[in-house]
């Protein structure tokens, strides 16, 4: 186990690393040549001009104002200056609420840290001197910490719910406010999916249905379009290269990866490849829109009002609850189009397979975790490699191994994990990027809990007890883990310093985007538009960022009573991360979608779970000490915490999963008063057309009805003459017929 001296060495290394990252960032960010790397969001918004367009040549690259170098840390003040309402307008509600997770950590742990050090450190010494039972102090503080955490959680849940409702009420018109996605449309031998959807909603939502867009399986077409973009990038590269040196034309080999094959002219080769792909794209596009097999039993259905969409999205459409399934449509930017082609009936099987794969991934990862933990044990290294003993026994080397190396090794092992978990989430079939990120975040948090938290404890100091752990009853598991927790505090301190201090500081440096931008700028950029495309603003990456934050909540809540020495390291992480990510959100990140903070119930639920885990482990720890009589008094804590979670779930969660009809009606009324001649159908008609059909060069016209629906009810027959009629004019049904007077209640 690392000593205080080892922790000091690790702290020194990470503090110096973080400071170095900040200094380098402060110097790089004020150089004109790096302006698009560190302020891309302002360029995307069109509010910042390039400093390279005017002035002396040297001044375009290097900042010659030496006074600006004296204020190299003023970015921190600037990051905190923007008020939250302005931040929401600038970056969206998702980004603003994401920052509140860091604030939540500060609100919870700063008072807890102060209380823990003043009472649990100072007073325990006094209790020992007076021979009083020190375990009662742990018991009382567990209740105090729990009540304080629940109070802050409830208050924050209320604030975020209010922010979400206000945002939905005040934001501009968006297609998803009027649109639902309907899935599992039942097959019909007489009508196409488009006709069936239209007639069903004309019958069952006659006063509110407006238009629809069927879902195509366009995945093959998307691959062709992506392939053409890659070929176009290569063509642009070689054309630019030739324009700079026209004395020689580049050549490429036509074989695999350009490693062998005939040597041909590069520009002619890629031009011909693009021409061939353009023809294939045109043919595949025609096939996609005309082949019934490419039409999925799903559609985006839009309504004349938000109220009508809310009623449809939040109600059961058919007597059979397994067909005509409706839910709110994601906003167009949020749609993950590839998964729309997955048959609905296969989703349950896919999620079962993904669950099994995740289970094995989680538990087999214990092997590298065990290896990482062995690095924290000098004795294990000496036993495995005795020839290294003279080196690792040196005081500084020993301190580095125990105070720094375990944390950095664990972080390296976790680099590729988010990509694997995202692939699993995509395989499960979620249709929006936001739901994919939330699902992947849930997996990532479970993985961190099992492997980084429990795995570090079990494979580290509890490794000798592992055989007993596997054969003992479930009631004894908290006791076994509880005993090991205090002994692993030093490892988690090193992990926090590496991941939460130096890691956060490295985030703001943006080294990888910086290198990629300058490589693109040197080889590919020819025009100002090329330079804009070379920027990589990135996103918040909720699927990795939020679970990492939750790990710190877990560590803080578990160790607050057991080893409060860990709390200052966690508080430092939350404070530093809040400043860094506020700066990144204001100046860098360009969020791909807006979910209006739909992720907050997940944030709240995971903190509640961490609180319950901390209570159970404290019970296990105290039951092994001379405090068996005090342990039953802790049973009330998890019960009260679970009750509190149920209260919050019933009181605040509906704001995140449903849209109040009162709010919808209010917004519709205001819109009709302000814009009585609004062409809503024109606004919605092509909002959910697959992006490949909007490609500039390969645009495909999807058959839509451009005329407004008749407002007067009229009876028209569908193609199923003996079974159904629709009460409104249908573009598929043909002319009016007086021979049909009965209107059936559904088209299922």
**What is the mean predicted confidence (pLDDT) over 193-215?**
93
More confident residue, 609 or 630: 609
Residue 747 has pLDDT above 80, yes or no: no
Strand 179-183 relative to strand 325-328: parallel, antiparallel, unpaired? antiparallel
From 10, 19, 5, select the one nearest 406 (Cα to Cα).
10
SS (H, E, C) 38-62: HCHHHHHCCCCCCHHHCCCHHHHHC
Residue 142 has pLDDT above 60, yes or no: yes
From 326, 312, 316, 310, select the one nearest 659 (Cα to Cα).
310
Distances (CA, A) of 264 to 238, 524, 534: 13, 21, 28
- Please tell me the distance from the alpha carbon of residue 185 to that of residue 748, in angstroms, as a whole number: 8
Q: What is the pLDDT of residue 515?
A: 87
Q: What is the pLDDT of residue 203?
A: 93
Q: Give me the residues paired with residue 179 across strands.
A: 302
Question: Model confidence at 4, in pLDDT bands (50, 70, 90)?
Answer: low
Dihedral sign for Cα 8, 11, 13, 16, please: negative
- Please tell me the distance from the alpha carbon of residue 90 to that of residue 514, in angstroms, as a whole number: 24
From 270, 292, 204, select the one nearest 748 (Cα to Cα).
204
One-character DSSP codes across 354-374 = HHHHHHHHHHHTHHHHHHHHH
- Please tell me the distance from the alpha carbon of residue 466 to that of residue 460, in angstroms, as a whole number: 10
Q: Decide if 63 contacts 32 (C-beta within 8 A).
A: yes
Q: What is the pLDDT of residue 231?
A: 86
Residue 60 has pLDDT above 70, yes or no: no
Q: What is the pLDDT of residue 528?
A: 61
Half-sphere exposure of 601 (CA within 13 A, CB side): 20
Distances (CA, A) of 88 to 118, 173, 487, 604: 38, 16, 43, 21
One-character DSSP codes across 677-711 = T--HHHHHTTTTS-GGGG-SSS--PPP---SPPPS
pTM: 0.82
Q: Which of 168-177, 297-306, 472-481: highest mean pLDDT?
A: 297-306
Distances (CA, A) of 235 to 44, 251, 269, 552: 26, 12, 9, 48
The string of pLDDT tens digits covering residues 482-538 is 667 777 788 788 888 888 888 888 888 888 888 888 887 777 665 566 677 778 788
More confident residue, 612 or 134: 612
The string of pLDDT tens digits covering residues 248-263 is 788 887 776 666 777 8
The string of pLDDT tens digits covering residues 634-680 is 889 999 999 999 999 999 999 998 888 998 999 999 999 999 888 99
Q: What is the pLDDT of residue 371?
A: 66
User: H helices of 503-633, where?
Assistant: 503-509, 511-523, 528-534, 542-562, 567-587, 600-623
Residue extents of the structural domains in the chain: 4-173+453-657, 344-428, 676-744
Show the CA angle centred on residue 256, arms to residues 252 and 262, nearest 5°.
Answer: 45
Q: What is the pLDDT of residue 722?
A: 39
Q: What is the pLDDT of residue 251?
A: 81
Pick the range with the lowest mean pLDDT from 123-137, 360-374, 411-425, 483-497. 123-137
Q: What is the pLDDT of residue 31?
A: 86
Pick the range with the lowest mean pLDDT from 326-340, 443-457, 725-739. 725-739
The residues, any chain, with a CB within 8 Å of residue 715's CB and separated by 6 or more, are 725, 726, 727, 736, 737, 740, 741, 743
One-character DSSP codes across 73-106 = THHHHHHHHS-HHHHHHHH-HHHHHHHHHHHHHH
Mean pLDDT of the chain: 81
- Please tell me the distance from the alpha carbon of residue 206 to that of residue 711, in angstroms, as a whole number: 10
The string of pLDDT tens digits covering residues 315-372 is 999 999 989 999 999 999 999 998 988 888 889 999 999 999 999 888 777 776 666 6
Cα 578 to its chain centre, rounded Å, is: 17
> How buried is residue 419: exposed, middle or buried, by Cβ count under 10 Å (0-12/13-18/19+)?
exposed
Half-sphere exposure of 666 (CA within 13 A, CB side): 10
Q: What is the pLDDT of residue 402?
A: 61
Q: What is the pLDDT of residue 526?
A: 59
Q: What is the pLDDT of residue 707?
A: 37
The residues, any chain, with a CB within 8 Å of residue 351's CB and separated by 6 or more, are 428, 429
Show the CA angle centred on residue 445, arms to residues 441 and 451, nearest 5°.
Answer: 140
Residue 51 has pLDDT above 50, yes or no: yes
Q: What is the pLDDT of residue 639?
A: 94
List the structure tokens of 337. 């189009």
More confident residue, 744 or 274: 274
Q: What is the pLDDT of residue 584?
A: 93
The string of pLDDT tens digits covering residues 690-704 is 888 875 444 444 443
Question: Model confidence at 462, in pLDDT bands (50, 70, 90)?
Answer: very low
Taking the CA atoms of the chain, what radius of gyration do you get in angstroms? 30
How many helices (DSSP H) and strands (DSSP E) are in the chain? 35, 8
Residue 435 has pLDDT above 90, yes or no: yes
Question: Model confidence at 416, in pLDDT bands (50, 70, 90)?
Answer: confident
Q: Which residue has the tokens 């994601």?
A: 330
Q: What is the pLDDT of residue 119?
A: 77
Q: Give me the residues paired with residue 299 across strands.
A: 182, 214
Residue 303's H or E segment, with its range, is strand 295-303
Q: Give me the residues paired with residue 301 across strands.
A: 180, 212
Q: Decide if 684 contacts 697 (C-beta within 8 A).
A: no
Q: What is the pLDDT of residue 201?
A: 95
Q: Which residue has the tokens 């580095």?
A: 400
- Please tell me the distance from the alpha carbon of residue 699 to that of residue 689, in angstroms, as a whole number: 11
From 644, 641, 624, select the one nearest 138 (Cα to Cα).
624
Q: Decide if 716 contacts 725 (C-beta within 8 A).
A: yes
User: H helices of 588-727, where?
Assistant: 600-623, 636-652, 654-657, 661-674, 680-684
664-698 exposure pattern, b = at least 16 Cβ within 10 A, e = fewer: beebbeebeeeeeeeebbeebbebbbbebbebeeb
Q: What is the pLDDT of residue 502?
A: 84
Question: Model confidence at 247, in pLDDT bands (50, 70, 90)?
Answer: confident
- Please tell me the distance from the alpha carbon of residue 273 to that of residue 601, in angstroms, as a whole number: 49
Residue 112 has pLDDT above 90, yes or no: yes
Question: Model confidence at 731, in pLDDT bands (50, 70, 90)?
Answer: low
Using a pLDDT cut of 90, give the percent of the chain over it: 36
More confident residue, 627 or 171: 171
Question: Model confidence at 391, in pLDDT bands (50, 70, 90)?
Answer: confident
Q: What is the pLDDT of residue 697?
A: 44
Pick the range with the lowest mean pLDDT from 533-542, 579-588, 672-681. 533-542
Using a pLDDT cut of 70, give the percent of the chain over it: 75
Residue 450 has pLDDT above 50, yes or no: yes
**What is the mean predicted confidence (pLDDT) over 586-614?**
93
- Please tell me the distance from the alpha carbon of residue 226 to that of residue 692, in angstroms, as a whole number: 10
Q: What is the pLDDT of residue 552?
A: 95
């Amino acid at each position: 186990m690392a000593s205080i001296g080892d922790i000091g060495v690790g702290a020194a290394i990470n503090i110096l690393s973080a400071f170095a990252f900040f200094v380098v960032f402060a110097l790089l960010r004020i150089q004109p040549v790096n302006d698009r790397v560190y302020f891309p969001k302002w360029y995307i918004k069109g509010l910042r001009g390039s400093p390279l367009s005017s002035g002396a040549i040297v001044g375009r690259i290097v900042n010659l104002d030496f006074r600006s170098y004296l204020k190299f840390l003023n970015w921190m003040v600037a990051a905190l200056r923007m008020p939250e309402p302005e931040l929401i307008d600038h970056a969206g509600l998702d980004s603003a609420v994401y920052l509140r997770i860091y604030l939540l950590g500060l609100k919870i742990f700063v008072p807890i840290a102060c209380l823990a050090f003043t009472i649990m450190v100072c007073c325990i010494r006094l209790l020992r001197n007076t021979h009083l039972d020190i375990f009662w102090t742990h018991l009382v503080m567990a209740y105090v910490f729990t009540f304080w955490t629940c109070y802050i959680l409830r208050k924050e849940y209320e604030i975020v719910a209010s922010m979400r409702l206000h945002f939905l009420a005040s934001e501009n018109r968006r297609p998803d406010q009027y649109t639902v996605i309907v899935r599992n449309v039942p097959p019909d031998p007489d009508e196409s999916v488009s006709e069936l959807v239209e007639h069903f909603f004309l019958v069952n939502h006659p006063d509110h249905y407006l238009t629809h867009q069927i879902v195509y399986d366009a995945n093959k077409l998307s691959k062709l379009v992506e392939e053409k973009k890659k070929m176009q990038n290569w063509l642009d590269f070689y054309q630019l290269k030739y324009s700079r040196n026209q004395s020689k034309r580049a050549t490429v080999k036509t074989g695999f990866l350009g490693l062998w094959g005939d040597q041909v002219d590069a520009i002619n080769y890629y031009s011909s490849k693009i021409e061939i792909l353009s023809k294939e794209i045109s043919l595949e596009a025609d096939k996609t829109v005309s082949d019934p097999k490419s039409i999925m039993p799903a559609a985006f259905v839009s309504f004349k009002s938000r109220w009508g969409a809310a009623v449809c999205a939040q109600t059961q459409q058919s007597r059979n609850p397994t067909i005509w399934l409706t839910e709110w449509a994601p906003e167009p930017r949020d749609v993950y189009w590839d998964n729309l082609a997955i048959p609905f009936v296969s989703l349950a099987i896919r999620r079962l397979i993904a669950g099994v794969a995740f289970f094995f991934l989680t538990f087999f990862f214990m092997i590298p975790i065990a290896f990482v933990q062995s690095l924290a044990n000098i004795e294990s290294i000496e036993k495995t490699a005795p020839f290294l003993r003279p080196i690792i026994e040196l005081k500084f080397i020993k301190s580095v191994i125990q105070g720094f190396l375990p944390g950095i090794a664990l972080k390296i092992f976790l680099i590729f994990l988010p990509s694997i978990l995202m692939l699993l989430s995509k395989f499960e079939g979620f249709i929006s990027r936001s739901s994919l990120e939330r699902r992947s975040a849930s997996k990532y948090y479970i993985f961190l809990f099992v492997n980084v938290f429990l795995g570090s404890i079990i494979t580290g100091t509890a490794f000798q007890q592992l055989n007993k752990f596997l054969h003992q009853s479930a009631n004894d598991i908290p006791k076994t883990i509880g005993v090991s927790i205090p002994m692993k505090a030093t490892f988690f301190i090193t992990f926090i310093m590496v991941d939460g201090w130096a890691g956060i500081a490295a985030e703001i440096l943006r080294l990888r985007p910086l290198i990629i931008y300058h490589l693109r700028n040197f080889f590919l950029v020819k025009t100002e538009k090329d330079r804009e495309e070379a920027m990589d603003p990135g996103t918040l990456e909720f699927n990795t960022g939020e679970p990492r934050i939750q790990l710190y909540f877990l560590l803080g809540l578990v160790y607050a009573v057991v080893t409060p020495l860990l709390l200052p390291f966690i508080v430092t992480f939350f404070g530093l991360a809040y400043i860094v990510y506020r700066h990144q959100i204001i100046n860098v990140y360009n969020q791909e979608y807006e979910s209006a903070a739909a992720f907050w119930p997940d944030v709240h639920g995971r903190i509640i779970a961490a609180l319950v885990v901390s209570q159970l482990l404290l019970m296990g720890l105290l039951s092994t000490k001379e405090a068996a009589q005090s342990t039953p008094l802790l049973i009330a804590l998890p019960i009260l915490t679970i009750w509190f979670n149920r209260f919050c779930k019933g009181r605040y969660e509906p704001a995140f999963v449903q849209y109040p009809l009162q709010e919808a009606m209010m917004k519709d009324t205001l819109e009709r008063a302000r814009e009585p001649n609004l062409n809503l159908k024109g606004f919605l008609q092509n909002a959910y057309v697959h992006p490949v059909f909007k490609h500039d060069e390969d645009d495909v016209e999807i058959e839509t009805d451009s005329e407004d629906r008749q407002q007067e009810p009229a009876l028209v027959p569908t193609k199923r003459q003996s079974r159904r009629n629709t009460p409104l004019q249908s573009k598929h049904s043909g002319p009016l017929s007086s021979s049909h007077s009965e209107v059936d209640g559904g088209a299922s």
